[in-house]
C-alpha cells in the first residue's frame, strides 16, 4: 500500500511538472538609461522594445511559436533577441529554423539577433555552420563575438553578441572592437557569468539565459552550483546588477534533460530600454519587474 501511494504521488508530481512546461510566463521589464555614459541625452532616448527568448531547446519545447506571435501581435516589438541553446541534435535544425521564422512574423523593425549557447556547440562544426547559415537565410543576424549597429528613431543602438562563456568561446575584445563611443549598447550572450569579466567593457543592458531558473527548482536548485559564481551570488533568474550595470537572466523557453519544470516556468520577456516606465504589457499572465523588486524577490 505504501509503495502504491509513493508511486502514485511521484506520478502526480511528474504530470504536474510536465504540465508546467506549457505554463509560459510573460514578463515586462523597463530599463531606464538615465545614467548611460554613451548617450548625449539619455532622457530623450526613444523607448525600444526587445522581445527576449532564450534556451529554446527544440528537443523539449512545449510552447507553440504561433501562441507567442498571437500574444505579442498587438505590441510594438522593435527587436527579437534569442540568447542561445536552440537545440542539441542536428536533425532538429529545420525545426529550430522554422520556429524562429514563425516568431519573425512579429516583424521586429530592427531585426532578429541570435547568439549561440553551450548546447548549440554540441553540434559538429559543419552542422553548426549549417544552423548559422539557415538562420541567416531567413533574415537573422547571428552574432559571434561581433557587433551590429542599428538605428532606432535616429538613435544608435549597438547590438553586441558575445559567444558562449561556459564553453570558453567569449572574446570580449573582439566583440567590442570598433563599437562606436556614442549610442546605446545592448549585449546578448548565453551564459550570464560573462558579466563577471566585463569591468572594462561598458554596456547599458545585457540579456542572457543558461540557468533555466533551475528548471527543477525544488527543493533547491543544488545542481546549479557547478554553473559558476553568479549562482553562488543567488543570481539565477530575473533582473540583477553587476559593476553598476543591469543584466537579465531568462528562465528560458524549453527544457533540457527531462521535459519537466518545478518551481520554474518557461519565460518570455519584453524589455523596454529607455524612456520612462511603460504601462505593463497585458498578456498571459503579467509580471512587471524593476531592478529593486526582482532583487528583493530573489533574496
Ligand atoms: Fe539551456
Q: What is the pLDDT of residues 228-244, one digit of tens each?
A: 999 999 899 999 999 99
How far is 95 from 54, CA to CA, in rounded Å? 16
pLDDT of residue 87: 98
118 alpha carbon – ligand 1 mean position (Å): 8
211 alpha carbon – ligand 1 mean position (Å): 7
162 alpha carbon – ligand 1 mean position (Å): 16
Q: What is the pLDDT of residues 30-42, one digit of tens each?
A: 998 877 878 878 8
Q: What is the pLDDT of residues 189-201, one digit of tens each?
A: 999 999 999 999 9
pLDDT of residue 281: 45
Whether 293 shows a pLDDT value over 70: the answer reads no
Cβ 60 vs Cβ 165: under 8 Å: no
Beta-carbon neighbours within 5 Å of ion ligand 1: 55, 85
Report the CATH fold assignment for 2-298: Purple Acid Phosphatase; chain A, domain 2 (3.60.21)
88 alpha carbon – ligand 1 mean position (Å): 10
Show Cβ contacts of residue 229 under 8 Å, excluding neighbours closer than 6 positions: 193, 196
Comparing 227 with 160, the larger pLDDT belongs to: 160
Whether 291 shows a pLDDT value over 60: the answer reads no
Other C-beta atoms lying within 10 Å of the C-beta of residue 143: 22
Percent of the chain residues past pLDDT 70, beyond the cut: 92
Name the E strands within 94-231: 112-115, 140-142, 146-152, 155-161, 184-188, 205-208
85 alpha carbon – ligand 1 mean position (Å): 5
Give the N- to C-terminal CA distance of the chain in Å, as an integer.
41
Helix/strand/coil for 241: strand
Whether 69 shows a pLDDT value over 50: the answer reads yes
212 alpha carbon – ligand 1 mean position (Å): 6
29 alpha carbon – ligand 1 mean position (Å): 21
Mean of the pLDDT values across residues 260-272? Answer: 94
- The rounded mean pLDDT for the chain is 89
Mean of the pLDDT values across residues 148-156? Answer: 95
pLDDT of residue 31: 92
Mean of the pLDDT values across residues 6-14? Answer: 88
How far is 294 from 296, CA to CA, in rounded Å? 5
154 alpha carbon – ligand 1 mean position (Å): 35
Q: What is the pLDDT of residues 73-132, one digit of tens each?
A: 999 999 999 999 999 999 999 999 999 999 999 999 999 999 999 999 999 999 999 999
Whether 286 shows a pLDDT value over 60: the answer reads no
59 alpha carbon – ligand 1 mean position (Å): 11
Closest CA to 226 of 118, 83, 86: 118
Question: Cell digits for 65?
Answer: 511559436
84 alpha carbon – ligand 1 mean position (Å): 7
The continuous run of DSSP H or E covering 197 comes out as none
136 alpha carbon – ligand 1 mean position (Å): 22
54 alpha carbon – ligand 1 mean position (Å): 8
196 alpha carbon – ligand 1 mean position (Å): 20
The DSSP call for residue 108 is: -
Beta bridge pairs of residue 146: 161
Mean of the pLDDT values across residues 165-185? Answer: 96
107 alpha carbon – ligand 1 mean position (Å): 25
109 alpha carbon – ligand 1 mean position (Å): 27
pLDDT of residue 14: 84
186 alpha carbon – ligand 1 mean position (Å): 21
How far is 271 from 228, CA to CA, in rounded Å? 25
Whether 295 shows a pLDDT value over 70: the answer reads no
Where do the domains of the chain lie?
A: 2-298
pLDDT of residue 294: 37
Amino acid at each position: 500500500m505504501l509503495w502504491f501511494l509513493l508511486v502514485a504521488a511521484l506520478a502526480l508530481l511528474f504530470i504536474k511538472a510536465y504540465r508546467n512546461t506549457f505554463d509560459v510566463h510573460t514578463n515586462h521589464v523597463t530599463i531606464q538609461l538615465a545614467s548611460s555614459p554613451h548617450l548625449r541625452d539619455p532622457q530623450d532616448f526613444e523607448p525600444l522594445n526587445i522581445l527576449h527568448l532564450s534556451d529554446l531547446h527544440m528537443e523539449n519545447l512545449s510552447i507553440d511559436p504561433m501562441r507567442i506571435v498571437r500574444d505579442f501581435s498587438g505590441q510594438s516589438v522593435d527587436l527579437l533577441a534569442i540568447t542561445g541553446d536552440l537545440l542539441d541534435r542536428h536533425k532538429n535544425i529545420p525545426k529550430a529554423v522554422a520556429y524562429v521564422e514563425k516568431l519573425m512574423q512579429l516583424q521586429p523593425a530592427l531585426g532578429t539577433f541570435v547568439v549561440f549557447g553551450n548546447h548549440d556547440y554540441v553540434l559538429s562544426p559543419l552542422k553548426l555552420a549549417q544552423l548559422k547559415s539557415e538562420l541567416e537565410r531567413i533574415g537573422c543576424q547571428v552574432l559571434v563575438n561581433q557587433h551590429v549597429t542599428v538605428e532606432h528613431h535616429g538613435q544608435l543602438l549597438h547590438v553586441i553578441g558575445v559567444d558562449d562563456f561556459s564553453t570558453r568561446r567569449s572574446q570580449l575584445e573582439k566583440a567590442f572592437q570598433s563599437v562606436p563611443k556614442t549610442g546605446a549598447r545592448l549585449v546578448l550572450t548565453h551564459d550570464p557569468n560573462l558579466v563577471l569579466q566585463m569591468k572594462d567593457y561598458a554596456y547599458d543592458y545585457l540579456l542572457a539565459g543558461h540557468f533555466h531558473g533551475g528548471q527543477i527548482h525544488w527543493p533547491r536548485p543544488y545542481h546549479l552550483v557547478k554553473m559558476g559564481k553568479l549562482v553562488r551570488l543567488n543570481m539565477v533568474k530575473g533582473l540583477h546588477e553587476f559593476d553598476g550595470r543591469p543584466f537579465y537572466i531568462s528562465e528560458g523557453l524549453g527544457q533540457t534533460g527531462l521535459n519537466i519544470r518545478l518551481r520554474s516556468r518557461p519565460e518570455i520577456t519584453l524589455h523596454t530600454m529607455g524612456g520612462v516606465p511603460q504601462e505593463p504589457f497585458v498578456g498571459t499572465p503579467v509580471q512587471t519587474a524593476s531592478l529593486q523588486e526582482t532583487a528583493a524577490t530573489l533574496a
